Amino acid sequence: SSGINAEWPLRPGEKEKKSLSAAVTNKDADISALAEEINKLQNKIQQLEEANQDASISVNDEVKSLQLKISHIDEEKANLSKKLSDLQQETVAAKLLKSDLELAQKNKDKRIVDLKSKNESLESTNKKMIFEMEEMNVKVDTLSKKKKVPTATLR
The whole-number pLDDT of residue 96 equals 96
Full pLDDT tens readout for the chain, 155 residues: 444 555 566 677 788 888 888 889 999 899 999 999 999 999 999 999 888 888 888 888 899 999 999 999 999 999 999 999 999 999 999 999 999 999 999 999 999 999 999 999 999 999 999 999 999 999 899 888 887 655 444 44
Label residue 86 exposed, middle or buried (CB < 10 Å: 0-12, 13-18, 19+).
exposed
Q: What angle do CA 48, 52, 53 make, to 5 degrees?
A: 120
What is residue 6's predicted lDDT score, i.e. its pLDDT? 54
Q: 23 vs 12, 20, 26, 44, 153, CA distance in Å?
A: 18, 5, 5, 31, 187
Is the pTM of the predicted complex or chain greater than 0.85?
no
User: d(Cα 36, Cα 29) in Å, to the nearest integer?
Assistant: 10
Helix (H) or strand (E) holding 71: helix 14-154
